[in-house]
Amino acid sequence: MAAQTFKVQTTSSTSRARLAELSMLHGKVQTPIFLPVGSQATVRALTPQDLEDIGIRMILCNSYHLYLRPGIEIIEKAGGLHQFMAWDKPILTDSGGYQIFSLSSFRKITSDGVVFRSHIDGSEHHISPEYAISLQEKLGADIIMALDVCPESTAKNEQLAGAVTYTTEWAARCFRSHQDNGQLLFGIIQGGLVPELRKLSAEQITSIDFPGYAIGGLSLGESKASMQEMVDCTVELMPDNKPRYLMGVGSPEDILDGVGRGIDIFDSALPTRVARNGALYTRSGRKNIKQAIFSDIFEPIEGSCGCFTCRNFTQAYVHHLFKCEELLAYRLATIHNLFFMNTLVSEIRESIGSGQFPAFRERFLSIYKTSDEDRRIEQKIRSVEAKRKKGTDDL
């Protein structure tokens, strides 16, 4: 990584929060940043122009899904992932470790990689660390991820220790096989909910000179307190001069918490998934637009929101679209939720730059009503099971 790829511009005096700039092949972004998930080369219900209008500057796609369908060779023939999906800004691709864990009905892990069956047709595939890097290099993403082992949150300590061992061995192999083509390869830290394993993994992965580092294996059904503890004990061992990425985390409150703990990059399908189910973000929390109470409210979802949906349509209209199961409902709801998330991280960056992040976080959370913790954990566990049955990680 070139010395100027990641530049920390401002740090908070009362937390680990920091404002930085990350330079990549397809442009620069300011961090902290939230990445919408477009697993299959599309952010569901939206066009690239929609994302541009919202202000999105970087997205996540998944090499596991693209490897199975349409196939990496098709995307390579198209000129790479950016050309294929008509997106000219930075892209991060996940190596597929989580998807292999969450979607495959069968997987076998060996020192040489992972053997799994496709959730689409049951065909058997083998992905080695070197092959995972080769696939992502052909896709042409700006940030690519090392192949890792992502165990269940309920895995036993010996399983978690084995996952750490394989993740470290594979990370070294990914690093050695990666071509110097301008793509930034990130290593992934595992360890489940065991502090000693998290620290061991962090020490081992950060000993490899990756351009950036990710924290994986969280937001899988554990409590927020457990996730926060793991983030804390991991971040303290991550270098200050490289980006830190918390994988799969994307609720408003978790982003604010993660930023305060020193995280720079977040991704999650949560805002787009709940949008398609009628849950819309507001400054006071999520509202279920399907509820009858909204059938005759002729005001925008949120008066202070500047998104396309709020500028043009009322709650009554969006409610009507959902009740009729019109496809426009999903587009309008997704636009609103991603605009909310993008505005939130923009305001977070501004607050860090002005030295007001703790006050901003306190003010936001004093108004925003979060989901019930027990219900959230239950929904997350059900979601993981549903992914296995449905064969998608963006339900």
pLDDT in tens, 72-107: 999 999 999 999 999 999 999 999 999 988 887 789
pLDDT in tens, 347-380: 999 999 999 999 999 999 999 999 877 666 666 6
Contact assessment for residue 308 and residue 294, using Cβ atoms and an 8 Å cutoff = no
394 domain-assigned: no
pLDDT surpasses 70 at 228: yes
SS3 (DSSP) at 288:
strand
pLDDT surpasses 90 at 284: yes
**297 lies in the same domain as 251:** no
**290 lies in the same domain as 254:** no
**168 lies in the same domain as 293:** no
d(CA 344, CA 347): 5
Work out the percent of the chain whose per-residue pLDDT is above 70. 93
Structure tokens at 46: 């939206």
**197 lies in the same domain as 52:** yes
Contact assessment for residue 51 and residue 88, using Cβ atoms and an 8 Å cutoff = no
pLDDT surpasses 50 at 1: no
387 domain-assigned: no
pLDDT reported for residue 388? 54
How far, in whole angstroms, is CA 232 from its chain's centroid? 19
d(CA 248, CA 380): 12
**71 lies in the same domain as 174:** yes
**256 lies in the same domain as 280:** no
**160 lies in the same domain as 300:** no
Q: What is the mean pLDDT of the chain?
A: 94
24 domain-assigned: yes
Can 232 be counted among the known catalytic residues? no
Can 121 be counted among the known catalytic residues? no
pLDDT reported for residue 380? 60
CA distances from 250 to 92, 156, 265, 269, 391 (A): 16, 26, 10, 8, 21
- Which among 223, 246, 269 is the end of a domain? 269
How far, in whole angstroms, is CA 184 from its chain's centroid? 17
pLDDT reported for residue 364? 98
Range of the domain at 337: 275-374
112 domain-assigned: yes
383 domain-assigned: no
Residues in the chain: 395
Candidate list 94, 148, 254, 393, residue with the active-site label = 94
**240 lies in the same domain as 300:** no
- Which among 269, 289, 322 is the end of a domain? 269
386 domain-assigned: no
pLDDT surpasses 80 at 231: yes
Residue 118's φ and ψ, nearest 5 degrees, are -60, 135
**262 lies in the same domain as 334:** no
**158 lies in the same domain as 70:** yes
Angle between helices 252-260 and 327-353 (to 10 degrees): 20
Structure tokens at 42: 């599309």
**264 lies in the same domain as 279:** no
SS3 (DSSP) at 264:
coil
The sign one gets for the Cα dihedral 200, 201, 207, 212 is: negative
pLDDT reported for residue 367? 98
pTM: 0.95
**252 lies in the same domain as 113:** yes
Structure tokens at 193: 């909910």
**Neighbouring residues of 389: CB distance < 8 A, sequence distance ≥ 6:** none
H or E element at residue 33 = strand 33-36
| pLDDT level of residue 3 (50, 70, 90 thresholds) | very low
pLDDT in tens, 16-62: 999 999 999 999 999 999 999 999 999 999 999 999 999 999 999 99
The single-letter DSSP state of residue 372 is: P
Instruction: Count how many domains the chain has.
Output: 2
Candidate list 142, 148, 257, 267, residue with the active-site label = 267
272, HSE (Cβ side, Cα atoms, 13 Å): 23
pLDDT reported for residue 2? 44
